Chain A
Amino acid sequence: MKDFNRAVEAIWRIESPKVIAGVAHMVHDIGLAEELAQDAFVAALQQWPESGVPGRPGAWLMGTAKHHAIDLLRRNQTLQRKHDELGRQLEVEELSMPDLDAAIEDSISDDLLRLMFTACHPVLSADARVALTLRLLGGLTTEEIARAFLAPVATIQQRIVRAKRTLTEARVPFEVPARSELDARLASVLEVIYLIFNEGYSATAGDDWVRPALCEDALRLGRVLAELMPREPEVHGLVALMEIQASRLRTRVGPSGEPVLLLDQDRARWDHLLIRRGLSALERAEQSGSALGPYALQAAIAACHARARTAEETDWARIAALYDALAQIAASPVVELNRAVAVAMAFGPAAGLELVDRLGSERSLQGYHWLPSVRGDLLAKLGRSREARIEFERAAAITLNERERKLLLERASEMQP
Chain B
Amino acid sequence: MRFMLLVRSTKESEAGLVPDQELFTAMAKYNEDLAKAGVLLALEGLHPSSKGARVKFSGSRQTVVDGPFTETKELIAGFWLIEVKSREEAIEWVKRCPAPFKGEAEIEVRQVFGPDDYAELIPNEPSPPTGNQT
Contact = CB atoms under 8 A, between A and B. Distances in A.
Interface in B110-134: 114-116, 118-119, 122, 125, 132, 134
Given A227-B38, A249-B115, A254 B92 contact: no
Contact of B42 (A212, A250, A273): A273
Which of A210, A224, A249, A407 is packed against the most chain B CB atoms within 10 Å?
A224
A250 B85 CA distance: 18
A43 B63 CA distance: 59
Contacts of B88: 6-7, 9-10
A194 to B, nearest CB: 15
A278 B88 CA distance: 28
Contact of A250 (B81, B89, B92, B118): B118
Interface residues of A, number: 33
Interface string B34-53: 01111101100000000000
A11 interface: yes
B36 A227 contact: yes
B79 interface: no
A220 B91 contact: no
Contact of A273 (B36, B81, B114): B81
Given A219-B83, A254-B134, A255-B125, A10 B89 contact: yes
B93 interface: yes
Contacts of A222: 38
A210 B83 CA distance: 18
A182 to B, nearest CB: 21
B134 A14 contact: no
Contact of B35 (A109, A216, A223, A255): A223
A410 B134 contact: yes
B106 to A, nearest CB: 19
B70 interface: no
Contacts of A224: 36-38
A221 interface: yes
Interface in B41-77: 41-42
Contact of B115 (A14, A250, A414): A250
Given A212-B114, A250-B118, A220 B86 contact: no
Nearest to B88: A10
A175 interface: no
Interface size class of B (residues with CB under 8 A): 20 to 34
A277 interface: yes
A258 interface: yes
Contacts of A210: 115
Given A14-B93, A212-B116, A250-B115, A227 B122 contact: no
A220 B39 contact: yes
A184 B106 CA distance: 48
Contact of A407 (B89, B91, B125, B134): B134
A407 B38 CA distance: 36
B43 to A, nearest CB: 12
Interface string A380-417: 00000000000000000000000000010010011000
Interface in A212-257: 212, 216, 219-224, 227, 249-250, 253-255
Contacts of A10: 85-86, 88-89, 91-92
Contact of B37 (A6, A14, A253): A14
Given A254-B134, A410-B134, A221 B115 contact: no
Contacts of A410: 132, 134
- Residue among A14, A210, A273, A414 facing the most chain B CB atoms (10 A cut-off): A14
Interface string B79-102: 001010110110111000000000
Contact of A220 (B38, B118, B132): B38
Contacts of A318: none
Given A250-B115, A273-B81, A410-B132, A14 B92 contact: yes
B73 to A, nearest CB: 26
B38 to A, nearest CB: 4
A10 B39 CA distance: 13
Contacts of B42: 273
Contacts of A258: 134
B130 to A, nearest CB: 10
A13 B87 CA distance: 12
Given A7-B88, A10-B89, A273-B41, A227 B114 contact: no
19 contacts: A6-B88, A7-B92, A10-B89, A11-B92, A13-B86, A13-B89, A212-B115, A216-B83, A219-B38, A220-B83, A223-B35, A224-B36, A227-B36, A227-B38, A250-B115, A255-B119, A273-B41, A273-B42, A413-B132
9 closest cross-chain pairs (CB), A and B: A223-B38, A10-B88, A220-B38, A10-B89, A224-B38, A10-B92, A227-B36, A250-B115, A6-B88
